[in-house]
Amino acid sequence: MEQYSLAIMPSLEIASQVAEMKQQYRIAVGRSYGSANAEAHISLDGFDADENDYPYILAEYRRVVSELTPFEIRFSSFGDFDRANYSAFYIKPTEETSAAIRERSETVMKNFDKKLKKQYTKKWADESKNPHMTIGRRLTREWIGLAYSMFTEYEAAFLCDAFVIRKFHEKRRQYDVVDVLPLVGSPAVQLDLFQP
């Protein structure tokens, strides 16, 4: 079984800014940390599938995602999750953006074929309840304090016109984008490849 993730990738400009923040943070911490090498993204969902099942899941995602309309994503500040000894530090979307992401993610999951979901997937995680773009995971509270001292303000926005599916690369321990699912605001058109 392979691990996959449905996600939103930011604009190239924002991705570059996040990569620079991670580099600065790694230097300040003095070592690598969770998500230090991960590309900037907002996770929406996760699933496991084998190679034979993936095309069916991809087709269903493509169908439901195509009906969504593009929308603006705005980031306004930083935040953190406190998970016992290890926490996460992230870039926080505005409340309006978080609500828009949750609404679209719920629509995808509600319209996803239930039989297909049950038959082909072993693990589904709802990552979209608290949308965020991670700077670092598995951080001590001391490192969280350092992050807040380094990163005090952040505002950025981009038009989200696609979701992506990312696949976990075992050797590199990172996810790679394997498919792009455009948000077009109308049902996907099925093309007959065998037309004369």
Q: Ramachandran region of residue 134, left (φ > 0), alpha (ψ -120 to 50) or beta?
A: beta
Predicted TM-score (pTM) of the model is 0.89
Q: What is the pLDDT of residues 18-57, one digit of tens each?
A: 999 999 999 999 999 989 999 999 999 888 888 888 999 9
Q: Give the whole-angstrom CA distance, residue 147 versus residue 150.
A: 5
Return the structure tokens found at 17. 């800014």
Spatial neighbors of 116 by CB under 8 A, at least 6 apart, are 56, 57, 60
**Of 6, 83, 16, which is closest to residue 48 (Cα–Cα)?**
6
Q: How far is CA 114 from CA 55, 140, 173, 191, in A?
A: 16, 40, 30, 24
Q: What is the pLDDT of residues 73-98, one digit of tens each?
A: 999 999 998 876 678 999 999 999 99
Q: Give the whole-angstrom CA distance, residue 106 versus residue 99.
A: 10
Identify the three-state secondary structure at position 130.
coil
Q: Which fold has domain 2-182?
A: Cyclic Phosphodiesterase; Chain: A, (3.90.1140)
Count Cβ atoms within 10 A of the Cβ of residue 167 and give its class: 0-12 exposed, 13-18 middle, 19 or more buried: middle
Q: What is the pLDDT of residues 104-152, one digit of tens each?
A: 998 988 888 887 777 655 555 555 678 999 999 999 989 999 999 999 9
